[in-house]
Structure 1
């Protein structure tokens, strides 16, 4: 489940950065149309691909239920961090992406 959590959080952060407001707040610039499309695509792919580790770990039925819980937890964490600690939200997404290969090896 750790890999699914890391992927969901990074996906939501990418979707968040695809908006003008959050991109400007965190990176101090407006996103170009290509960057916006790239962030949206990456965010959607990460959210979609996060179902894989969840279903591998617990089976299809239970894995999808746990994936929904992980999805809500990662979104809640991002929503709570953005107003008060926006830089920490960005740092956690980067650390999560770096830790994903370790979590993937721990899965098997």
Structure 2
């Protein structure tokens, strides 16, 4: 479930960064069209991978329940961090991407 949580948070952060307003707040400039599309694609890909990780860990019945819980938790953390600690939200996304291979190895 840790892998699904890490991938969800990174996916939501990528989707957040694909929006010009949030990209400007976090990185100081608006994204180009190509970067915005790449971030959207990466975000949806990471969310899809998190679904796969949750289902692989617990099967379809409990995996979907776990995935929805992880979706809500990661979105809540991101929404609470963005107004008050935007740099921390960005740093956590980077750390979650770095920690996901370790979590994938531990899940196997």
TM-score range, shorter chain: over 0.9
What residue number does 1:91 align with?
Answer: 91
Structure 1: runs of 5+ lacking an equivalent: none
What residue number does 1:107 align with?
Answer: 107
Q: TM-score, structure 1 length as denominator?
A: 0.98
Task: Map 1:9-20; keep pairs closer than 5 Å.
Answer: 9-20=9-20
Task: Map 1:1-108; keep pairs closer than 5 Å.
Answer: 1-108=1-108
Regions of 4+ moved over 6 Å: none
Cα distance in structure 2, aligned partners of 1:53 and 1:47 = 10
Report the count of equivalent residues: 108
Alpha-carbon offset, residue 4 of structure 1: 0.3
Q: TM-score, structure 2 length as denominator?
A: 0.98
CA-atom RMSD, angstroms?
0.5
Structure 2: runs of 5+ lacking an equivalent: none
